[in-house]
Amino acid sequence: MLKGKKISKLDSKSVPKKPEKEKKLNIKLRVNILFAVIFSLFLVLLGRLYYMQVIDKSFYADKLKETGANTTVTTSMPRGQIFDATGKLLASTSTVPSITFERKASITADEMRQNAVKLVPILQSFVDTSGLTSRDLKDYFLSDPKNLSLINAELPASKQVDSQGRRLSEATIYSKLINLVKDSQIQYSGDDLVAAELYKMMNGTKLYASSNIVSGDISSEQQAAIAGQLSSLPGISFGSDWEHSIDQSNLLSPLLGTISTTKSGLPKDEVASLLKQGYSLNDRVGLSYLEKGYESDLQGKKEITQIAVDSKGQAKEKTLVQAGANGKNLKLTVNLDFENGVQQILQNDLSKVLNATNSHVRGAYAVVLNSQTGAILSMNGLDRDTTTGTLTNNSLAPMIDSFIPGSTVKPGTLTAGWASNAISGNQIQDDQIIQIQGSNPITSYWGSSSPMPITAQQALEYSSNTYMVQVALKMLGQPYSPNMTINSTNTPKVYDELRGAYAQYGLGTSTGIDIPGETTGLVPSTGSEGATTGKLLQEAFGQFDNYSPLQLAQYAQTIANNGVRLAPHIVDGVYTSTDSSLGTLASAVQSKTMDKVNITQANMDTIHQGMHDVVYGGHSLTTGGLIGQGALTEIYAKTGTSEGFASNGDAITVNNAIAFAPGPSPQIAVGIMVPDTSVVSHVNQDMVRDIVNLAVQMKIIK
């Protein structure tokens, strides 16, 4: 370096500059990179949104449900009541005090547990712990924060997330905790079980809804004891509930059926279908008979409220979606006084034939229908204990039990014969001994000694078995000749023809009654073991299939109504009311035609005349003359007995009858069955006459 020589700054012009074009390329590159990064991030965002909204939609939908937005709360209304035809209350609904629990979002499981513990000394008499399950006890165990912390410590964090590291739903995690609770940790007894049941009821209450945890005869002292602690019982308050009770002292009580309790809720076999109809699991519903058959009317219309919930889970707005309404009331077709009168007749007439030689009687059953509408005027039954002789009311028996009908089927047999052209009109045939080769002879009850020509009308009046057997043989295409053999080829066909005619009258088929649970009788299938040609001949005079007393009554109604079969109905009308009264008619139950018998009016007239002559024929072979003795109006009837033997060898019969009155313009039809009386009993005839007379006296027959 040279001394003293000063170094000057480089001249800017001496430094080489980047071309302008190169500068622009660098800026463009940077912008492109920035756009590429933004675009890539945008693609990632789109991909994530697609994954959340399409691929993993259900997961996030469940998460959304957990946070809440809107919820719907339903409140059940009181059940409808049931009245007899005159307005007597048979099944009532009354308001009772209740202790309620409103489940707010702020109330914790621990607070519900503490509520339960505090209420145990006051409400334990109302609490049934028999339905508690292992799961219920585990829920109660985990409601204690100490127990929850203890069990939670046993569940590692890795078990609380899914395969992608996302936290599982609280419900899923809780299920895992439940599985970790040991049986040894839930060995509760005494007051702890009562507390567990109370906690179960509170815990089962839907969020933002209220439920009755206890209702009934809560004393003023018990209410005062709770009132003094309300500030320390979050969600607990006073309310009202309803109770539905059936007067068990009235004869119709078995027909009315039963309803479930809040605890038992919906019947298991109907849960799915009832939930679809808007029911809740703990709703009280009809379980049997009338309560079940008219469930849709008796069940109140629920009040539905929609609650808007804010982000903190607090209810901020309530909107009434549907106003509630009490269940509708039912008015029955049965006058309870007439029902009581019919049972008194069954008791009185039965007592006349009960003696040491007639001890096998199993009961007496009667059904009375309005022959023009099908309305049930009485459905009455007495069961008899053959060991003790005790009589008990059973108004269900006429529709659920069945017995051999005997000769009451003979109008149906004639109908089948006419329909198949085996006989025509009031055709004459000989009542005679029927001897089929290799079989016991068949005779009429008077024991035919020689052939006696009789008409179809007389076959009913005299109750000729052999006339009906010959009808069946002609239907088989094999008219009777002594010691004949029978070709069984057409046996199934004739079974079907006979049973088809009977079914048109209501025998061996559904009557269409508006109460569920009826029997269709005992009708062995064609071709089954026992349904032989020999039994077919016995079928023709009522010694094979079994029918119910209700079916016999409908059979009588169909004959009275010139072949039009109407469904029996016990409900006359459905009413709306806001208090304990019957209320205003909402809808009347209309007559329903079930079938029309394939019969000409001329042939139906033959049946009518034959049934008239059963009572008033005056011949020594007339079978129902006792019915007319003392009758207050004209009665048409057909009696029937089915023969058998008791276990000790005593000869017994089922004494039956069908009837209608007043003839020839009937208003009522009657079916009677008295199983296992002595052969000489005529109790069926006494019952028919006395029931018809009662109907006249009570102006049911006008």
Any residues with CB less than 8 A from the CB of 65 and at least 6 apart, and which? Answer: none
Closest residue by Cα to residue 333 from 383, 367, 288, 292? 367
Say which residue the tokens 């040991």 belong to: 182
Per DSSP bridges, beta strands 329-332 and 82-83 are parallel
The answer to whether 681 and 653 are in contact (CB under 8 A) is: yes
Cis peptide before 234 (omega within 30 of 0): no
The answer to whether 441 and 462 are in contact (CB under 8 A) is: no
> Residue 309 forms beta bridges with which residues?
315
Count of beta carbons in the 10 Å neighbourhood of residue 143: 22
Quick one: which H or E segment has residue 271?
A: helix 271-276
CA distances from 452 to 423, 444, 540, 623 (A): 17, 11, 19, 17
H helix intervals, 215-268 = 220-227, 253-256
Residue 605 is encoded by which pair of tokens?
A: 């007239």
Count of beta carbons in the 10 Å neighbourhood of residue 399: 27
Rounded to an integer, what distance in angstroms lies between the CA atom of residue 296 and that of residue 328?
9
Gyration radius (Cα) of the chain, Å = 40
> What are the contacts of 129-135 at 24+ separation with CB within 8 A?
129/193, 129/194, 129/196, 129/197, 131/197, 131/263, 132/193, 132/196, 132/197, 132/200, 134/183, 134/186, 135/178
Residue 315 is encoded by which pair of tokens?
A: 């209810």
Burial tier of 444 (Cβ tally within 10 Å: 0-12, 13-18, 19+):
buried
Largest CA distance in the chain: 174
End-to-end CA gap in the chain? 151
Quick one: which H or E segment has residue 170?
A: helix 170-180
Residue 305 is encoded by which pair of tokens?
A: 């409220």
The answer to whether 76 and 224 are in contact (CB under 8 A) is: no
Rounded to an integer, what distance in angstroms lies between the CA atom of residue 361 and that of residue 650?
12
Rounded to an integer, what distance in angstroms lies between the CA atom of residue 384 and that of residue 361?
7
Quick one: which H or E segment has residue 123?
A: helix 109-123
Say which residue the tokens 């000749």 belong to: 481
What's phi and psi for 189, nearest 5 deg? -155, 170
Rounded to an integer, what distance in angstroms lies between the CA atom of residue 550 and that of residue 138?
52
DSSP reduced 3-state for 287: coil
Closest residue by Cα to residue 290 from 579, 572, 581? 572
Walk across the sheet containing 391-393 and list its strands.
391-393, 376-384, 363-370, 668-678, 651-661, 636-645
Tell me the torsion sign for CA atoms 47, 48, 50, 51: positive
Number of helices followed by number of strands (H, E) in the chain:
23, 20
SS (H, E, C) 194-218: HHHHHHHHHHCCCCCCEEEEEECCC
Residues with catalytic function: 407
What's phi and psi for 342, nearest 5 deg? -65, -45
